Structure 1
Amino acid sequence: MTDPTHSPVFDAAAPVFDAAAEFDRQVRTLVALGYPALSGHSPERFTELVAPLRAEAVARTDSAASAGTSAAYDPAVTGRVPFVLVVGRERAPIERTMPLTALHGGRLPGFVDRSFEPGSLERFVATEPARPPGKDGVHLLFDVERGEEFCGVVPGDAMATVAGRGRTLLTIEEGIALLTHVPEILVKNKCFSMGGSRCGDRRVPALWISKRAPKLGWCWEGNPHTWLGMASAGARHA
């Protein structure tokens, strides 16, 4: 597991947000963490697999970079990032990727809570509106928010509000990807649910901090928590 540090690409003092540099950083992060091996590829082949997404990442964030709005993407302050490179569970199982996460500045690995009974993670699949596009098992998630405005809001109501805004809820894989690339996004009292993955009951998966490490757990859709928001994104692309 790498030692997560604040990325200079997200530095609010920088004149512009460098989308190309940020995409390359995210690829290097995945390679360093062993994602190529998890997906059955060499580092070179894995890099080739995700390379076609680079142009889209740059194109979609070019206007923000030209306007010099990098401060809006300081994740420690706003809880927002312009894009996240996601590897699906068919290439990198959740049980293998969650331990590769850590808090910003921390070294304890993330873990899956024991409240997930054996075999239950496989049943938490993407809802129809949150289904990842494409068939390669990798995609980009744009305009990502951890959604702290929904802290203290009933998750069911938060999910309805997100849908009403034309935004999409994050899946478990996307939440793990967000934490992997931008560990400073997960902080005390600003953790988040991922309503894009459901298993047919009232449970909503969430990421929060426990024992000084990230934990993947779940909460009931009717129970609000003051420290748990609802993560969402503007779009997906494969």
Structure 2
Amino acid sequence: MPDTTSAATVRPALPALSTQAERLIELGVHEIAGLTPAGVRTFAAAAGVRAGGDALLAVHPDRAPASALAPLLRRAGKPGFVVVDMTDVDRFGPHGVELPDAPLYLVTGLDRGDHLSGWSPEEALPALTGEGRTPLLLTEGLHWVLQQPEVLERNHCFMTIGSRLRKENGGLDARTPAIWISNGTGRDGRERRDAPKIGWCWWGNRHTWLGFASAADRRATGGR
């Protein structure tokens, strides 16, 4: 297993929750989730008072699935996309992660997990939980990039291993979702070079350019 001595990745603070709310409304995420602009703004206003710090505004994946969020990402003027062999992306649900029972919630203490680059998901998960952290869901990672596009950098992208696919036999699919930047090769197509890309990696494989995004906590705060 690779060594790691680094602490949390240094990053700029997230926008204020009120600003994040307006971003989601501008993109039409509230419509995808069946929420009103007023409802999103009210939640953000109440949560901003109570959260008291750096937090990500997230929509429950049952309300806004990954396939609907991915095209809203932008990088180099190009929309995000899901790889063609991941038509089942929305079946990757929370695994070992307890979500607030609310359409909107907060994710706090985000870290891209650069210090775990070169680890496999199988190695990284116990390391994260041993630190008292929780791996991000794919949808949470997408919300993060929607609000802070610069978090996605070449050679510094991330996996979201809080989302797993349960197979019909009860076992877990060996694929684990990740968000990175397309090189425009293969089935991506040259026109997608530099676009944000939602794909997958094997549970036991290591990638030097993928960290493991995690959070300190999730909580529902404020009204609906």
TM-score (norm 2): 0.81
Whether contact under 8 Å (1:50, 1:138) holds in the other structure is no
1:123-142 to structure 2, matched below 5 A, reads 123-128=91-96, 130-133=97-100, 135-142=101-108
Structure 2 counterpart SS, 1:145: coil
Structure 1 counterpart SS, 2:23: helix
Whether contact under 8 Å (2:16, 2:48) holds in the other structure is no
Q: Which has the higher contact order (CA 8 A, sep 6+)?
A: 2
Give the alignment's Cα RMSD to 1 decimal: 2.0
Runs of 4+ more than 6 Å apart: none
Deviations 1:153-209 (A, max 9, x none): 122111110011010000011100111111100000000000100011221100000
- Residue 144 of structure 2 corresponds to 178
Structure 2 counterpart SS, 1:98: helix
Q: C-alpha separation between the residues in 2 aligned to 1:215 and 1:110?
A: 6
Deviations 1:116-168 (A, max 9, x none): 1x3x223211013x2211x2221100010011111111221111100110100
Amino acid at match of 1:95: S
Q: C-alpha separation between the residues in 2 aligned to 1:23 and 1:213?
A: 26
Any unmatched runs of 5+ in structure 1? 1-9, 62-81
- Residue 218 of structure 2 corresponds to 236
- Residue 200 of structure 2 corresponds to 218
Size of the aligned set, in residue pairs, is 195
Task: Give the C-alpha shift of residue 11 in structure 1.
Answer: 9.6
Whether contact under 8 Å (2:175, 2:203) holds in the other structure is yes
- Residue 166 of structure 1 corresponds to 132
Q: C-alpha separation between the residues in 1 aligned to 2:11 and 2:85?
A: 37
* Higher mean C-alpha displacement, 202-211 vs 82-91: 82-91
Q: C-alpha separation between the residues in 2 aligned to 1:36 and 1:125?
A: 20
More helix by share: 1
Any unmatched runs of 5+ in structure 2? 1-9, 166-171, 183-192
Report the identity percentage.
36
Q: C-alpha separation between the residues in 2 aligned to 1:145 and 1:40?
A: 29
TM-score (norm 1): 0.76
Task: Give the C-alpha shift of residue 50 in structure 1.
Answer: 4.1
1:133-152 to structure 2, matched below 5 A, reads 133=100, 135-152=101-118
- Residue 153 of structure 1 corresponds to 119
Structure 2 counterpart SS, 1:229: strand
Task: Give the C-alpha shift of residue 89 in structure 1.
Answer: 2.2
Structure 2 counterpart SS, 1:40: coil
Q: C-alpha separation between the residues in 1 aligned to 2:31 and 2:91?
A: 24
Q: C-alpha separation between the residues in 2 aligned to 1:56 and 1:227?
A: 36
Structure 2 counterpart SS, 1:139: strand
Amino acid at match of 2:99: P
Q: C-alpha separation between the residues in 2 aligned to 1:229 and 1:185?
A: 12
Whether contact under 8 Å (1:23, 1:57) holds in the other structure is no
Deviations 1:83-110 (A, max 9, x none): 211012222222111110113xx21011
